[in-house]
Amino acid sequence: MNILERYHAMEYGPAPEARTEADAWLAGRDFGKALFIDGGWKAAASGKTFGTSEPSSGKLLAKISDAGAADIDAAVAAATKALPKWSASSGYQRAKVLYAIGRSMQRHQRLFAVLETIDNGKPIRESRDIDVPLAIRHFIHHAGWAQALDKDFPGHKGVGVVGQIIPWNFPLLMLAWKIAPALAAGCTVVLKPAEFTPLTAILFAEICERAGVPKGVVNIVQGGPEAGVAIVNHPGIQKIAFTGSSEVGKIIRKATAGSGKKLSLELGGKSAFIVFEDADLDSAVEGLVDGIWFNQGQVCCAGSRLLVQEGIADALIAKVKVRMSRLRVGSPLDKNTDIGPLVDATQLDRVKGLVAEGARQGAVCWQPDAVLPSSGYYHLPTLATGVSPANILAQEEVFGPVLATMTFRNTEEAVELANNTRYGLAASVWSENINLTLHVAPQLKAGVVWVNGTNMFDAACGFGGYRESGFGREGGRNGTNMFDAACGFGGYRESGFGREGGREGMFEYLSAKLPLGPVIKPTAASAQPVEQSDGGAIDRTAKLFIGGKQVRPDGNYSLAIATAKGKLAGEVGLGSRKDIRDAVAAARACKAWPEATAYNRSQVLYYLAENLSGRAGEFTARLTELTGANAKAAREEVEQSIERLFLYAGLADKYEGRVHQPPARAVTLALHEPVGVLGIVAQDSAPLLGLISLIAPALAMGNTVVAVPSEKYPLLATDLYQVIQYSDVPAGAINIVTGRTAELAGVLAKHDDVDGLWLFADADTCAKAEADSVGNLKRVWTGNGRSFDWASDEAAGDALLRRAVEVKNVWVPYGD
């Protein structure tokens, strides 16, 4: 065959990566003593081991120490002992250690890459060119954060001992994402790698020895479910950082409820890949290859749902099939391989089962004509067409090389299909019309939107609320797979909550001193009737405030409210589950408030403050009557409430997103978006100031609110109805349901159309609400049974605004 014939044939010969050094490392190590605890190597206390196998052949690689509860106890004890000295060290000292880790990893990066490919099955090009360099980048990047900590995060310090659990699809990279920010913040770490892929974590522990990491600062414990449960439930751990499935994330959310542990969950995704009829189809196809077939589709932000406009559907599908037929499936150590094996036989069986079920439900599943290797856990790239929105392939995270395709007619239908998922991680939008892409991007319920590209992020980016990182091959005309930007990545909905990387990721490992007050005691229902007040006034029961109107409670029951002297001050409606449902529906239906400009929202809040000021005397009298506070103290609370409204009115158009300019040819728009429908449950102390201090920042950022006011002093909230009504607040933006705190908080926590819950109540109510929130993994912020000093400076400003927004990053590449 001559050169021209070879060129037209485009046949690839084998290009294997040498594995000699990796095999020598495997042969020379005692994996029966692979637990890295307090700077030394230990066997599991039980003596148990588990096997890790090579996905390309199924052959056993090593028998690894299997940590149990006793080993986790030892690791936590080591981390606790090391914490005071490490957290007290200067940022410069921590930075030097982080930099030393990064430099030492650079010297061994080829060994890391080969081990990762052998243990995980991903093609060597990916582990060599993407995973390992980016893991190194994280440690060097966070060395800078360590040194800048005091300046950039005043009043914050490391949260303490951190328990971290990582998955098998990006073993080394996930380790870097977890450990680097924790060490930069001054935390100590107990990390558990996935059972399928423990090898690079063991090599990393060796790096920690050589890089001078103090004993006990980093502890790495391989193990199965027993080790994971022990980490989650350990009382000596102050934060849990978990990356994995949404199902396990919900279990962890429930297990940590009421513990006071800080929690970040990076869970699943079902990302939409939207192609409009004016898109560059060849670029879209290359982006699609990177979006779904990178790492065999074992990526949480994989573009696993292709939404294509009807007019170009046939042409695009034809191009996709041609491109799929040229993907090379084979040995992951071959540099020409595009698709390697799945991680394990169980994962292969799961993918096969989902494809079969999708076909049974009506999908047409096409695969290229290719021969799979005779051994290993390989699955051909699969294209499913004729997929209905309810098909299992459109709704469930397959976590394999499977693409589900649907068509749309217009922009509105594209957005509706894209948002038709319980996840909210990422999306890609492809069009040559930049106006169209920037019209669609803000409407998508996803933490990151890539315009004419996919998988753009790096160490300077915050990444969270999803399961695994997604990095693809270099390719695509408009900059697919850029690894250079100081911009955030995070998920909505059941993709979890939390951030990794950049400034947002640092907050996950830091804590600030909160102005907490006394323990809140449960409110007991009154056993005795409230003494009737003197006089012949006509009795009036305050109604609920839903959808801009005063409405009777569904059950037509009322709650008697006493004055400080025990006499009847009035009655309020006793809200129920049905009333909360109505209030949530009204809040969800209110589009005018979240779509209003920040300037318009600020004007309404200013007007609300102005109208409250005009009735300051009435509210002062009501506070005195209900709480027994003297006139001066009551007047001060009213004035602080007015001031708080003014504060957030002023910040509504100033707490803005950012425009990042990464080194790549792109700009990234970091948009602050409202969380959505926020449930707010206020405490009894400072009943007016506390309620307004919670509602005001939520409204300032464009959220709609369902508020449950103080159970003991709800008349202060019902007196606000008229102030709200004549302050130009759109109907449904503020809804107020009076009643029993514990009961109504529980309803809000379970409601899957509530996106966030801020709760200040007794410890049992807070813990139950956190546990009940797992239905849609809503963002829950509680005082853990403690009251909040709403008069303090810490109770106002950025701290609450940060909780009131989701950060969406829209990547816009430029140039040819």
Active-site residue set: 266, 300
Residue 431 Rama label (left phi>0; alpha psi -120 to 50; beta): beta
Q: Rounded CA gap, 438 and 812, in Å?
A: 9
Query: What is the separation of C-alpha 180 from the centre of its chain, rounded to a whole number of angstroms?
Result: 18
Q: What are phi and psi of 690, to 5 degrees?
A: -65, -45
Question: Would you put residue 547 in left (φ > 0), alpha (ψ -120 to 50) or beta?
Answer: left
- What single letter denotes the amino acid at residue 563? T
Residue with tokens 């003593």: 33
Structure-block tokens of residue 313:
């559907």
The HSE-up count of residue 124 (CA atoms within 13 Å, CB side) is 20
Per the CB < 8 A criterion, the answer to whether 463 and 457 are in contact is yes
Render 62-110 in DSSP notation, one character per residue: EEEE---HHHHHHHHHHHHHHHHHHHHS-HHHHHHHHHHHHHHHHHTHH
Q: Are 162 and 238 in contact (CB under 8 A)?
A: yes
What does the alpha-carbon distance between residue 310 and residue 407 come to, in Å, rounded to a whole number?
A: 6
Give the whole-angstrom CA distance, residue 392 versus residue 404: 10
The secondary structure of residue 217, as a DSSP letter, is T
What is the C-alpha to C-alpha distance for residues 795 and 619, in angstroms, rounded to an integer?
Answer: 21
For the chain, helix, strand, coil in percent to 5 are 40, 20, 40
Task: Count other C-beta atoms under 10 Å from residue 691's C-beta.
Answer: 26
Cα 409 to Cα 210: distance, rounded to the nearest angstrom: 59
Nearest to 779 by CA among 647, 674, 684: 674
The most distant pair of C-alpha atoms in the chain lies apart, rounded to whole Å, by: 110
Nearest CA to 167 out of 137, 136, 198, 143 is that of 198
C-alpha span between 326 and 475 (Å, rounded): 15
Taking alpha carbons only, the member of 158, 190, 157, 160 closest to residue 175 is 190
Residue 241 is inside which H or E element, if any? Answer: strand 239-243
| Cα distance between residue 543 and residue 150, in whole Å | 49
Q: How many angstroms separate the CA atoms of 519 and 292, rounded?
A: 50
Q: Which residue has the tokens 């979890």?
A: 496
If one counts every other C-beta atom within 10 angstroms of the C-beta of residue 236, the result is: 16
Give the sign of the dihedral formed by CA 537, CA 543, CA 549, CA 551: negative
Q: How far apart are CA 277 and CA 202, in angstroms?
A: 49
How far is it, in rounded angstroms, from Cα 44 to Cα 39? 15
Q: In the β-sheet with 677-681, what is the strand arrangement from edge to edge?
A: 549-551, 544-546, 734-736, 704-708, 677-681, 756-759, 779-782
Strand ranges inside 116-187, DSSP E: 156-158, 161-165
The Cα 22–Cα 285 span in angstroms is: 36
For CA atoms 126, 130, 133, 135, the dihedral sign is negative
Distance CA 730, CA 715 (A): 22
Based on its alpha-carbon atoms, the radius of gyration of the chain, rounded to whole angstroms, reads 28
Q: Is 429 helix (H, G, I), strand (E, B) or coil?
A: strand
